Structure 1
Amino acid sequence: MKIGYVRVSTKEQNTERQIKKMNEIGIEERYIFVDKQSGKDFNRPQYQAMRLVIREGDLLYLDSLDRLGRDYDGIIAEWKYITREVNADIVVLENESLFDSRKFKTMGDLGKLLEDQFLSMLSYVAEQERKKTKQRQSEGIEVALKKGVKFGRPKREITNEFIAVYDEWKSGSITAVQAMRKVGMKPNTFYRRASEYEERSI
């Protein structure tokens, strides 16, 4: 049986391209497992579901090796679990000529040795690239902070509209909930701005 595993790192990212690839090689929708989660570990609901479903003789397709995960030791451990303990096979579509566990199996013990070395090298490269990316992100944030760039949502200022609504609320003309709706603020933000305004008025 053909099985597909698809992963993107965040909920905002699109899985359509990977799923299309799985459809094109004839994998049924019910056997395509999709996670929208970081690859830092293997505690992903759909990955764990795939692990329960896969059986001896099955063929697992991945778009690229880093879809399996981003942890150097974890990738190797999972690859070996699927190919040697479950006795299923894995094909990585991005490097199909190199990453097809069926080819290594035909070579016996030598194939296992070559597969181990190859996986170690590629997984190490993938992890180093991930570390470099994180380092570049950290350096970029540090530079931006020094330049005065502010991250996160912009602060809601105390406007004349807020002051008018605040006065209505304090006079008892409207409730706090009505005041929040009028200025479009959540409770925490509203009360924080109210406190700031009161401190400023003292």
Structure 2
Amino acid sequence: MPAKTYGYAENSAEVDALQSYAGVDVILEDMPERGQYRMLRRFLREGDTLMVTALSSLGDSDGTIGGEMDYFLQHEIRLVVLELPITMQELDTSSTALVYRTVKEVLRIWQQHKEAVQVQRLVRQKEGIQAARKAGRQFGRPVIEYPKDWKCVFEQWQARDISAVEACRKLKLSRSTFFRMAKRYRQKEIGGD
């Protein structure tokens, strides 16, 4: 069976980019779950070529992409990535292996860089929140003040003279707000504030 060239695209823009290359036998468009990709991968045979526009078409992380590259190298399937012109050249097996190792190393370094940037962003965010709190900035929803008849109605409710529904009606509060305020009021009494 002669070797075939397959194209795999995740959206219509990628389909258009792949169709501009002559000799692409099949172009599959996929949804984010990559179901079509997994099916296509089972059809690929030694000597076939898989053409994608970007490495991200193979997976979401550097580990997944590296695993796919290893699979292609092991099964002698040529991978052509349009964003990496060196993969478009005809290379022997050892040169292909070198290119794949280099790309995998670059991916690993890029992933480490992304993780370091994320950690740095979180540290800066935490420092900014701490500085804002020191400056007196309040975060979250403002605390609802107790209604003017709160203490009297609350004591009646605690003594079971009135129901929670009646207490809510008298104070013009929803049930959830009433119970939240009651909890806060009890904690305030216990704390001695």
- Tell me: CA distance 1:158–1:130, structure 2 relative to 1, closer, same or farther (3 Å): same
Counterpart CA distance in 2 for 1:82 and 1:180 is: 62
Give me the CA root mean square deviation: 4.5
Q: Do residues 97 (structure 1) and 88 (structure 2) align?
A: no
User: CA 1:153–1:60 in structure 2 vs 1: closer, same or farther (change >3 Å)?
Assistant: farther
* 2:101 corresponds to: 113
8 A Cα contact 1:158 1:193, kept in partner: no
Larger radius of gyration: 2
CA distance in 2, matches of 1:127, 1:183: 47
2:143 to 126, 148, 155: 155
1:82 aligns with one of 68, 75, 89: 68
Q: Which amino acid aligns with 2:145?
A: E
1:62–1:178 CA distance, 2 compared to 1 (3 A): farther
Give the equivalent residue in structure 1 for 2:21.
Answer: none
Structure 2, gaps ≥5 residues long: 1-6, 16-27, 45-49
Matches within 5 A, 1:31-180: 31-33=30-32, 50=34, 54-55=38-39, 56=41, 57=44, 68=60, 75-85=61-71, 97-98=83-84, 103=88, 107-160=95-148, 162-163=150-151, 166=154, 169=157, 175-177=163-165, 179-180=167-168
- Aligned residue for 2:183? 192
Unpaired segments ≥5 residues, structure 1: 5-21, 34-48, 69-74
In the TM superposition, residue 140 of structure 1 has moved relative to its aligned partner by 0.6
* Contact 1:161–1:183 (8 Å) recurs in 2: no
TM-fit CA distance, 1:176? 1.6
Distance 2:181 2:37 in 1: 50
User: Which one of 183, 189, 199 corresponds to residue 173 of structure 2?
Assistant: 183
Paired residue for 1:40?
Answer: none
Q: Deviations over 1:37-75 (max 9, x none)?
A: xxxxxxxxxxxx54897241577777979x93xxxxxx3
Query: Retained in 1: the 8 A contact 2:14–2:53?
Result: no
Tell me, in whole angstroms, the C-alpha distance in 2 between the residues paired with 1:104 and 1:135. 44
Return the alpha-carbon distance in structure 1 between the equivalents of residues 152 and 80 of structure 2: 65
Identity of aligned residues (%): 19
- Write the deviation string for residues 113-169 of structure 1: whole angstroms up to 9, x where unpaired: 221232123222212211211111111111112112222332222122645754664
Distance 1:177 1:59 in 2: 67
More displaced 10-residue stretch of structure 1: 126-135 or 183-192: 183-192
SS of residue paired to 2:117: helix
CA contact under 8 A between 2:54 and 2:83: conserved in structure 1? no
TM-score, normalising length from structure 1? 0.52
Structure 1 pair 158/32, CA: closer, same or farther in 2 (3 Å)? same
1:72 corresponding residue in structure 2? none
